[in-house]
């Protein structure tokens, strides 16, 4: 960056006229102008009296100020001098023109905020920095971008790179009526200093003497089999090239048009790039342009820039070479295009395989409309470019070259009952997104809108399609499979080619009539359908047998504004001085289960519970008749509640919400009742049935009271259990309900999940493979990839870096790649081991987050396994690497690390010396997630320790450079040698685990899918825990299992420390005994590394126990919310924390764990 004082003079040409109204509107809509950030960054904005937008237009741009962390004013003007010369506001130019032209809003590292957590694209790839060799270095070292002829020295190095075994190169040449020039082109191919293995001439039905000339001039090459001729009917250049690709036998593919001429060393230096670097799958060079008609002659070539390529093509096919494997993976040329076919193919082939640019001249390119009739000069551009831009639209939107223009397609609008739809659209409008609503009918009860939105009523799908095109929409989203998606959104998408997503709720898929008519399997199988969103496992398992592909099902929740319900306010108190007051709110229809509620009310009686019932519906008369027949004195009907405030007021008068929903006789049932989420946010306890997706997310007596659907006795018992709960236990359940909301619910989270799909916000999933007869695990890897393909719900790229496996394994990988356009496969010729190969995957990616999965032992366990990982990283701006923490018992503290056998190869060794008492844990290397902003070409995995201790050294390196490691509940990752084993820590939050085998992964998935399953992590017994929480196999209770999960891999273990187990819990004593700790029940043996009390401690006991802790020691015990230890207040060396991982699977005790640690 230049000094601002120098650059201000460059902006003197900026006009200071009053901005147009449209300029202000454009800034306000754009995410690139952040008025809050701008005002806080530049304090004089508030003193100026101008709105932030006006200030930027009048003043800020002239002072080279940035409008947000995502746009650099100074960079844009320096990179685009034409904008500076024109005196245009840089941000306005970018929004109106530069975005679609592929210009960059900021340079690498130039934006004010260098983190990419909220973005769809992360740091640009740096794989070019990993590509080295004598030839490549000689060509690229100068940094020049203008192409020049190859030098003799560069040619020598190219020959050296290729060595004695020349690669097999296939040259494909289409020809149509080129009798006057075809020999020139073919001669240039056969005169190459590195001869091709074959030249495939595809004659596209020539009507002149082209074939006669070729057969006469190149008879010897034809006889030798080097020149192969394919005669085809006239089908156009794409069809001709596809014939050539199908016939090609070479490992490398090059293209030469019949009217151009290669330079003699072209194949030599291009092939050298592939030979010298096994991460090169595509390459291109410069050309000499010869426009004989206009007399213009110049050299063309520019460095690789993906952003610019998908805005405008700058690579010509005549100087482009690729490995044949890309044709196997992506197919050939698009025959529906009559022009720009080279741009299309190059864009597809380089999407995941960044090319190397060689600034060397490779071809003489000839243009002459009258003599040659070049496609460039004779075929219309607009139609072809429009079709091509549509094909690459997802990536253009991801990179910000084309804004999201969203169509919300609804059956009825604005429906009062669909508050989640209103909330989604409200959020989109208020966050500046371009969204319009299209609907079929007016609702029976309309909502009042508090936002402005363009809404268009349509008669049918045909009219909808016309409007979508007229309004230039590029994304469709619909709610409800039937009738909205089946009859409206889907056929309109088919007519327009616009991709779509939709959310299936309940009646639209569960009702028996809708099962017959929603055609949901057909709809989702359509390539235009990106995702079907549903709540959770219940919906997925219902849809899969209907033929809906699992890989297209994604999980999401309806949008709920939790803040309006006081999410952070104190939880509501349940009355203890009279009958409880329960409330029901909903429609009077069968699936809401009101008859069950009334039967339960009769069993409970008015002395125990009073119910307030709010709602309306077709079954109201029958419901009231049942209440009269039962003679209920504890049920009052109040009619419907309209709007949020009346709902909140009613909830504040209640002690709990009851949701007795059932599956109706016709199959109709709930999705996930929004009212449950609203009550939990308000801090109101919930008693619900286990209908539909409710038990996918809510656990009995952990987040809510969950009862058997359709069972009045179970519902009554659930309400009585709520009434018997102690105040602390009930408050803990309410807090956990809110924790569930913060983890899974909320409008921003819902919309971010949508946007990840709409904007193709890809994550990178990395596998490093090595498989030979000595290390044969081909079926394990195949299963790992299958699970990733089937259960990853976020757009992703799968990068597989193979370290030299044998042909059998590589064949399997190639078969996978042929089915996956989102798979990047690098077949390395030299084993880089896990560290070096992971660096390659990180360097090739442009994602914000990269997830490493061990290709032998890392198995996905849950559908949507990646979403908790992404969410955790996004919500912690400081998080650089996340996973499961382990430690090396002998080398845990900084002062011990120097004795590690490999420490001399660690980077930043002085950091351990300056932190001698700091415990160093590492993220276990089998599974982890990285924010790619934390990694660079110079700060990746160690090349000195590429295999053993790679994860240990990298975690240490990150900490030593002030990077942040975070523990993620969704990941359980150990080594095969780690003790205790994986069974100690697995629970229902685990979405991916390591180490497993194919068989053990399948068994674990099956067991964890069972809602009533239980697991003892102390003795590894399944389904042996009784209703009281006691394990029949080992005698452990919920407290012992909860403690053991927490302590299993705590850094203090396996270091010969003394542990005191208070109260004589034999199961916990046995679990913690040697080699984990020297366990005793004798309290006189202080100091202790660990004191674990399965029973509650009073404040005096806490103080006494804390005094018995050794330096670095830990005291842990179960405690209710009203038991707060004050020991740390009297001793600055003590730190009080609280952990609360309460597991349904482990049948954990309900109480949180209090912890006091002593400084080392």
pLDDT digits (tens, 9 = 90+) for 342-366: 999 999 999 999 999 999 999 999 9
- For residue 779, being part of any structural domain is answered with yes
Interval 275-296: pLDDT, tens: 999 999 999 999 999 887 767 7
DSSP string of 71-104, one letter each residue: B-HHHHHHH-HHHHHHT--HHHHIIIIIHHHT--
Interval 813-832: pLDDT, tens: 999 999 999 999 999 999 99
What values do phi and psi take at 919, rounded to 5? -75, 125
Do 270 and 375 lie in one domain? The reply is yes
DSSP 502: E
Which tokens in the block code for residue 657?
Answer: 């919400």
Do 773 and 857 lie in one domain? The reply is yes
Burial (Cβ within 10 Å: 0-12, 13-18, ≥19) of residue 70 = buried
Q: How confident is the model at residue 811 (pLDDT cuts 50, 70, 90)?
A: very high
Cα–Cα distance measured from residue 716 to residue 991, given in angstroms and rounded to the nearest whole number: 34
Do 687 and 589 lie in one domain? The reply is yes
Do 440 and 539 lie in one domain? The reply is yes
Q: How confident is the model at residue 637 (pLDDT cuts 50, 70, 90)?
A: very high
Cα–Cα distance measured from residue 694 to residue 696, given in angstroms and rounded to the nearest whole number: 5
**Are 150 and 285 in contact, with CB atoms under 8 Å apart?**
no
The pLDDT score that the predictor gives to residue 965 is 98
Do 776 and 740 lie in one domain? The reply is no
Interval 314-341: pLDDT, tens: 999 999 999 999 999 999 999 999 899 9
Interval 145-197: pLDDT, tens: 899 999 999 999 999 999 999 999 999 999 999 999 999 999 999 999 999 99
Percent of the chain with pLDDT over 70: 95
**Are 582 and 612 in contact, with CB atoms under 8 Å apart?**
yes
**CATH number assigned to the domain comprising residue 594:** 3.40.50.2000
The pLDDT score that the predictor gives to residue 1121 is 67
β-pair type (635-637, 796-802) = unpaired
- For residue 110, being part of any structural domain is answered with no
Cα–Cα distance measured from residue 926 to residue 952, given in angstroms and rounded to the nearest whole number: 12
Do 1084 and 1046 lie in one domain? The reply is yes
- For residue 797, being part of any structural domain is answered with yes
In the chain, the number of structural domains is 6
- Single residue among 391, 419, 449 that ends a domain in this structure: 391
Interval 709-744: pLDDT, tens: 999 999 999 999 999 999 999 999 999 999 999 999
What residues contact residue 1159 under an 8 Å CB cut-off, 6+ apart? Answer: 1111, 1112, 1133, 1134, 1135
Residue predicted with more confidence, 97 or 1118? 1118
Interval 1010-1046: pLDDT, tens: 989 999 999 999 999 999 999 999 999 999 999 999 9
Rounded mean pLDDT of 441-469?
A: 96
Instruction: Spell out the alpha helix ranges (H) of 80-217.
Output: 81-86, 90-93, 99-101, 134-140, 152-162, 182-190, 210-217
- For residue 234, being part of any structural domain is answered with yes
DSSP string of 912-931, one letter each residue: HHH-TT-B--EEEEEEEEEE
The pLDDT score that the predictor gives to residue 1128 is 73
pLDDT score of 11 more than 60? no
Do 376 and 407 lie in one domain? The reply is no
b vs e for 425-455, b when ≥16 Cβ sit within 10 Å of the residue's Cβ?
bbbbbeeebbbbbbbbeebeeebeeeeebee
pLDDT score of 7 more than 70? no
Do 90 and 167 lie in one domain? The reply is no
What angle in degrees, to the nearest 10, is found between the helix axes of 674-682 and 644-652? 60
Cα–Cα distance measured from residue 249 to residue 198, given in angstroms and rounded to the nearest whole number: 8
Rounded mean pLDDT of 584-597?
A: 97
The pLDDT score that the predictor gives to residue 370 is 55
Query: Which residue, 868, 1140, 1143, is CA-closest to 1008?
Result: 1143
The pLDDT score that the predictor gives to residue 1 is 30
The pLDDT score that the predictor gives to residue 21 is 66
The pLDDT score that the predictor gives to residue 9 is 43
Interval 379-397: pLDDT, tens: 667 889 989 999 999 999 9
pLDDT score of 125 more than 70? yes
Rounded mean pLDDT of 226-252?
A: 97
- For residue 375, being part of any structural domain is answered with yes
**Are 657 and 679 in contact, with CB atoms under 8 Å apart?**
yes
Query: Which residue, 378, 301, 370, is CA-closest to 339?
Result: 378
Interval 192-233: pLDDT, tens: 999 999 999 999 999 999 999 999 999 999 999 999 999 999
Report helix, strand or coil for 404.
coil
Three-state SS for 229-282 is EEEECCCCHHHHHHHHHHHCCCCEEEECCCCCEECCCHHHHHHHHHHHCCCCCE
Do 588 and 636 lie in one domain? The reply is yes
- For residue 756, being part of any structural domain is answered with no
The pLDDT score that the predictor gives to residue 577 is 85
**CATH number assigned to the domain comprising residue 345:** 3.90.550.10
b vs e for 831-844, b when ≥16 Cβ sit within 10 Å of the residue's Cβ?
ebbbbbbbbbbbbb
**Are 33 and 27 in contact, with CB atoms under 8 Å apart?**
yes
**CATH number assigned to the domain comprising residue 1068:** 3.40.50.150
- Single residue among 984, 1000, 1020 that ends a domain in this structure: 984
Average pLDDT for the chain = 93
Residue carrying the six token digits 């001869």: 195
pLDDT score of 373 more than 80? no
Q: How many other CB atoms are found less than 10 A from the CB of residue 954? A: 26
Do 790 and 726 lie in one domain? The reply is no
Cα–Cα distance measured from residue 942 to residue 23, given in angstroms and rounded to the nearest whole number: 50
Do 654 and 689 lie in one domain? The reply is yes
Residue 1025 pairs with which residues in a beta bridge?
Answer: 1031
Residue carrying the six token digits 């964890």: 1008
**Are 1067 and 903 in contact, with CB atoms under 8 Å apart?**
no
Which tokens in the block code for residue 842?
Answer: 């990180």
The pLDDT score that the predictor gives to residue 82 is 74
What residues contact residue 643 under an 8 Å CB cut-off, 6+ apart? Answer: none
- For residue 111, being part of any structural domain is answered with no
pTM of the model: 0.91
Do 784 and 686 lie in one domain? The reply is no
Cα–Cα distance measured from residue 17 to residue 23, given in angstroms and rounded to the nearest whole number: 12
Interval 77-116: pLDDT, tens: 888 877 887 778 889 888 877 776 667 888 755 443 445 5
Q: Print the domain residue range for 549.
A: 403-555
- Single residue among 926, 960, 984 that ends a domain in this structure: 984
Which tokens in the block code for residue 87?
Answer: 């005196």
Alpha-carbon dihedral angle through residues 1092, 1098, 1100, 1104, given to the nearest 10 degrees = 0
Which tokens in the block code for residue 20?
Answer: 């147009």
**Are 660 and 715 in contact, with CB atoms under 8 Å apart?**
yes
Strands (E), 690-819: 705-707, 763-769, 796-802
- For residue 529, being part of any structural domain is answered with yes
């Amino acid at each position: 960056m230049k000094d601002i004082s120098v650059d201000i003079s460059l902006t003197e040409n900026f006009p200071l006229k009053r901005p147009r109204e449209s300029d202000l509107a454009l800034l306000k809509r754009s995410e690139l102008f952040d008025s809050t950030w701008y005002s806080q960054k530049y304090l004089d904005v508030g003193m100026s009296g101008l709105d932030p937008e006006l200030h930027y237009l009048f003043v800020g741009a002239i002072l080279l100020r940035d409008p947000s962390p995502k746009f650099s004013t100074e960079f844009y003007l320096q990179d685009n001098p034409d904008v500076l010369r024109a005196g245009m506001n840089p941000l306005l130019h970018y929004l109106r023109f530069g975005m679609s032209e592929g210009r960059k809003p900021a340079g690498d590292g130039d934006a004010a905020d260098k983190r990419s957590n909220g973005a769809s694209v992360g740091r640009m790839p740096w794989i070019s920095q990993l590509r080295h060799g004598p030839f490549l270095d000689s060509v690229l070292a100068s940094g020049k971008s203008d192409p020049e002829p190859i030098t003799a020295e560069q040619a020598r190095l190219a020959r050296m790179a290729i060595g004695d075994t020349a690669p097999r190169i296939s040259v494909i040449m289409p020809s149509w009526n080129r009798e006057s020039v075809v020999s020139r082109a073919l001669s240039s191919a056969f005169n190459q200093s590195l001869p091709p293995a074959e030249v495939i001439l595809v004659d596209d039905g020539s009507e002149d003497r082209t074939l006669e000339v070729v057969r006469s001039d190149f008879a010897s090459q034809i006889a030798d089999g080097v020149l192969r001729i394919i005669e085809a009917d006239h089908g156009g250049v794409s069809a001709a090239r596809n014939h050539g690709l199908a016939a090609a036998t070479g490992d490398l593919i090059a293209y030469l048009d019949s009217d151009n001429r290669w330079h003699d060393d072209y194949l030599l230096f291009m092939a050298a790039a592939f030979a010298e670097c096994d991460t090169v799958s595509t390459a291109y060079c410069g050309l000499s342009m010869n426009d004989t008609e206009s007399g213009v002659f110049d050299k063309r070539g520019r460095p690789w820039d993906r952003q610019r390529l998908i805005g405008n093509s700058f690579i010509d096919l005549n100087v482009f070479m690729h490995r044949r494997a890309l044709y196997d993976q992506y197919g050939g040329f698009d025959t529906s295009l009559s022009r720009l076919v080279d741009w299309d193919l190059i864009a597809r082939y380089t999407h995941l395989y960044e090319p190397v640019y060689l600034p060397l001249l490779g071809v003489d390119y000839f243009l002459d409309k009258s003599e040659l009739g070049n496609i460039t000069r004779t075929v219309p551009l607009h139609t072809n470019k429009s079709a091509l831009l549509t094909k690459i639209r997802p990536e253009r939107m991801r990179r910000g070259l084309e804004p999201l223009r969203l169509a919300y397609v609804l059956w009825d609008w604005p429906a009062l009952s669909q508050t989640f739809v209103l909330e989604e659209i409200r959020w989109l409008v208020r966050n500046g997104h371009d969204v319009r609503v299209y609907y079929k009918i007016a609702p029976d009860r309309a909502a009042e809108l508090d936002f402005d939105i363009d809404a268009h009523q349509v008669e049918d799908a045909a009219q909808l399609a016309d409007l979508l095109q007229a309004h230039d929409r590029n994304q469709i989203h619909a709610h409800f499979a039937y009738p909205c998606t089946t009859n409206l959104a889907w056929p309109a998408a088919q007519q327009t080619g616009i991709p779509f997503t939709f959310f299936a709720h309940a009646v639209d898929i569960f009702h028996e009539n809708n099962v017959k008519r929603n055609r949901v399997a057909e709809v989702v199988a359509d390539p235009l359908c990106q995702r079907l969103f549903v709540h959770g496992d219940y919906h997925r398992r219902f849809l899969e047998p209907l033929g809906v592909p699992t890989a297209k099902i994604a999980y999401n929740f309806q949008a709920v504004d939790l803040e309006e319900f006081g999410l952070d306010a104190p939880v509501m108190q349940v009355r203890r001085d009279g009958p409880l007051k329960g409330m029901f709110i909903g429609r009077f229809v069968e699936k809401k289960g009101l008859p069950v509620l009334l039967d339960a009310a009769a069993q409970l009686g008015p002395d125990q519970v009073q119910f307030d019932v709010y709602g309306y519906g077709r079954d109201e008369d029958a419901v009231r008749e049942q209440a009269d027949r039962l003679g209920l004195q504890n049920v009052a009907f109040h009619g419907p509640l309209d709007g949020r405030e009346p709902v909140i007021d009613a909830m504040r008068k209640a002690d709990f919400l009851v949701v007795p929903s059932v599956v109706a006789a016709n199959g109709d049932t709930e999705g996930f009742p929004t009212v449950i989420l609203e009550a939990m946010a308000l801090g109101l306890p919930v008693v619900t049935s286990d209908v539909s997706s409710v038990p996918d997310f809510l656990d009995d007596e952990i987040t809510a009271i969950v009862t058997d659907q359709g069972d009045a006795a179970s519902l009554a018992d659930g309400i009585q259990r709520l009434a018997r709960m102690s105040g602390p236990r009930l408050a803990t359940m309410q807090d956990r309900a809110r924790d569930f909301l913060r983890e899974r619910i909320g409008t921003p989270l819902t919309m971010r999940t949508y946007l990840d799909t709409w904007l193709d916000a890809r994550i990178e999933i990395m596998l490093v493979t090595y498989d030979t007869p000595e290390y044969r695990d081909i079926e394990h890897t195949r299963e790992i990839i299958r699970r990733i393909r089937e259960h990853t719900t976020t757009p992703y790229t799968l990068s597989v870096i193979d370290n030299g496996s044998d042909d059998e394994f590589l064949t399997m990988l190639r078969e996978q790649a042929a089915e996956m356009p989102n798979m990047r496969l690098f077949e390395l010729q030299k084993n880089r081991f896990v560290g070096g190969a992971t660096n390659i995957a990180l360097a090739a990616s442009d994602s914000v987050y990269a997830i490493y999965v061990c290709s032998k032992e890392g198995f996905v366990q849950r559908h949507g396994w990646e979403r908790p990982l992404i969410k955790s990283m996004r919500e912690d701006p400081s998080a650089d690497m996340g996973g499961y923490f382990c430690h090396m018992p002998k080398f845990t503290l900084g002062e011990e690390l120097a004795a590690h056998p490999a420490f001399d190869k660690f980077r930043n060794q002085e950091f351990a010396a300056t932190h001698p008492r700091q415990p160093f844990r590492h993220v276990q290397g089998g599974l982890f997630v990285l924010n790619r902003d934390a990694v660079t070409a110079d700060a990746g995995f160690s090349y000195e320790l590429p295999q053993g201790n790679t994860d240990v050294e990298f975690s240490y390196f990150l900490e030593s450079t002030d990077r942040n490691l975070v523990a993620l509940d969704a990941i359980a990752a150990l080594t095969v040698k780690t003790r205790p084993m994986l069974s100690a820590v697995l629970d229902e939050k685990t979405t991916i685990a390591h180490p497993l085998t194919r068989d053990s992964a399948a068994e674990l998935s099956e067991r964890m899918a069972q809602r009533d399953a239980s697991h003892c992590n102390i003795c590894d017994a399944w389904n042996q825990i009784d209703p009281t929480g006691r394990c029949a196999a080992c005698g452990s209770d919920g407290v012992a299992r909860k403690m053991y999960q927490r302590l299993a891999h705590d850094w203090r273990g396996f270091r010969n420390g003394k542990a005191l187990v208070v109260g004589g819990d034999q199961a916990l004593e046995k679990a913690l005994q040697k080699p984990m700790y020297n366990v005793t029940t004798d309290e006189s043996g202080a100091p202790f590394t660990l004191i674990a009390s399965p029973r509650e401690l009073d404040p005096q006991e806490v103080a006494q126990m804390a005094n018995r802790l050794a330096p670095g020691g830990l005291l842990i015990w179960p405690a209710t919310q009203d038991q707060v230890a004050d020991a740390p207040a009297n001793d600055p060396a003590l730190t009080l924390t609280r952990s609360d991982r309460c597991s349904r699977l482990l049948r954990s005790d309900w109480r949180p764990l209090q912890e006091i640690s002593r400084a080392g």
